[in-house]
Amino acid sequence: MNDPLLQIRDLSVHFRTGNGTAEVLRHVSLDLARGRLVGVVGESGSGKSTLAATLLRLLPPNLARLDGAITFEGRNLLTLPPAETEALRGTRFAMIFQDPMTALNPVFTIGNQLVEFQRAKQPSASRADLRARAVRMLARVGIADPARRLDDYPHEFSGGMRQRVMIAAALLTEADLLIADEPTTALDPTIEAQIVALMRELHAEIGSTMMLISHSLGLVSQLCDDVVVLYAGTVVETGPMAEIFRNPLHPYTRALIACEIGHDVARGDRLASIPGEVPDVTRVPPGCIFAGRCPDVVPACREAVPELRAFGPDRRAACSRL
């Protein structure tokens, strides 16, 4: 993994809450390799969306602490002036949200918005050219009769179609990094499968770096080259998806995979769950963050935080018992 697009080093993000400081991300270090499709997986509350928000510098006002470095083209994104980080959003980094209505403005037509999404990078292009590109991209993501649909408003599209419009919008920015936060969670399984196939196809064609955030390891495994497993704000394992599926190292990754395999859609099961609960991040216990739920725990696990160590060239895991 030479020359990563982004290098995250020792990133910690803490928020002020009514219950004290929430340590939402703790000492996160990872590289996003160029052109790869990277999955970030973890249960609800593990800090996935906060990681995306930090990359885009869209952090809430109750931020208490922001430490570490995110290096992009030799510069630390965490210390750039706000105007520069704003300039990066929508040109170098683009985001696909779970609910496209958070990104699409209900009072403007899809056409107007798709033109505006392209403006930052193409300030002098004619409106007709940008509309023509938008029509081609809408066709590409599977919107029928795209030239006519350009004059429709977001609410005139179904949920699945709006998600396609959002993907088209993100692709039109030609960003170097596309972050998709739970892009299919609001969709039914058939539409989800179509969107996953579409994202895979577009990624193969466009070759930009993509970060797919999901609580579903199954979804991530269908789509991603690499995976980052987050647990309560800590990276517990990273590496190529296929290798991790074949040989998960961290007990949490093993538990996630076991849930995925035990999950039988035909029987109508929802996801089997891991016994115990995610720890309260306002009261982070000493030692390994997973110790409270780990089937392999020994007393030493509750003393020191295990380091994220290398196991082969591209694999790392944070468990002192490995």
Ligand X SMILES: Nc1ncnc2c1ncn2[C@@H]1O[C@H](COP(=O)(O)OP(=O)(O)OP(=O)(O)O)[C@@H](O)[C@H]1O
Minimum Å gap between C-beta 102 and ligand X is 13
Site for ligand X in 271-290 (CB under 6 A): 281
Quick check: 184 binds Mg ion (CB under 5 A)?
Answer: no
Helix 127-140, helix 159-172: angle, nearest 10: 130
Of 44-52, 134-142, 221-229, 258-266: span binding ligand X (CB under 6 A): 44-52
Q: How far is the CB of 65 from ligand X (least distance, A)?
A: 12
- Which string of DSSP letters, residue by residue, matches 4-46? -SEEEEEEEEEEEETTEEEEEEEEEEEEE-TT-EEEEE-STTS
Give the per-residue contact string, 20-49, with Mg ion (x = CB under 5 A; - = no). Answer: ----------------------------xx
Q: Cα 276 from chain centroid?
A: 25
Sign of the four-CA dihedral 80, 226, 233, 28: negative
Residue 184 binds to ligand X (criterion: CB under 6 A): no
**3-state SS, residue 80:** coil
Q: Rounded distance, CA 138 to CA 202, Å?
A: 12
* 50 contact choice in Mg ion, ligand X, none (CB below 5 to 8 Å, kind-dependent): ligand X
Count of CB atoms within 10 A of residue 297's CB? 16
**Residue 17 makes contact with ligand X by CB under 6 A:** yes
Q: Show the tokens assigned to 43.
A: 């249960």
H or E element: which one contains 41? Answer: strand 37-41
Binding test (CB under 6 A) with ligand X, winner from 11, 14, 49, 235: 49
Rounded distance, CA 204 to CA 320, Å?
37
Residues near 148 by beta carbon (within 8 Å), at least 6 away in sequence:
none
Contact 58, 82 (CB under 8 A): no
Answer with the entry of ligand X, Mg ion, none that 46 interacts with (C-beta below 5 to 8 A by kind). ligand X
Query: Which among Mg ion, ligand X, none contacts residue 105 (Cβ within 5 to 8 A by kind)?
Result: none
Question: Which residue's structure tokens are 């739920």?
Answer: 293
CB of 101 to Mg ion, least distance (A): 16
Question: Measured from the CB of residue 159, what is the shortest distance to Mg ion in angstroms?
Answer: 18
In terms of CB distance, is 97 or 290 closer to Mg ion? Answer: 97
**Which partner, Mg ion, ligand X, none, binds residue 42 by CB below 5 to 8 Å per kind?**
ligand X
Listed residue (183, 218, 175) closest to 199, CA to CA: 183
Kindly determine how many residues on this chain lie close enough to bind Mg ion according to the rule CB under 5 A: 2
> Does residue 39 touch ligand X according to CB under 6 A?
no
Residue closest to Mg ion, measured at CB? 49
**2 or 44: whose CB is closer to ligand X?**
44
62 makes contact with ligand X (CB under 6 A) = yes
User: In one letter, which amino acid is 246?
Assistant: R
Applying the rule CB under 5 A, the residues between 57 and 96 that interact with Mg ion are none
Interface with ligand X (CB under 6 A), residue from 8, 11, 24, 134? 24
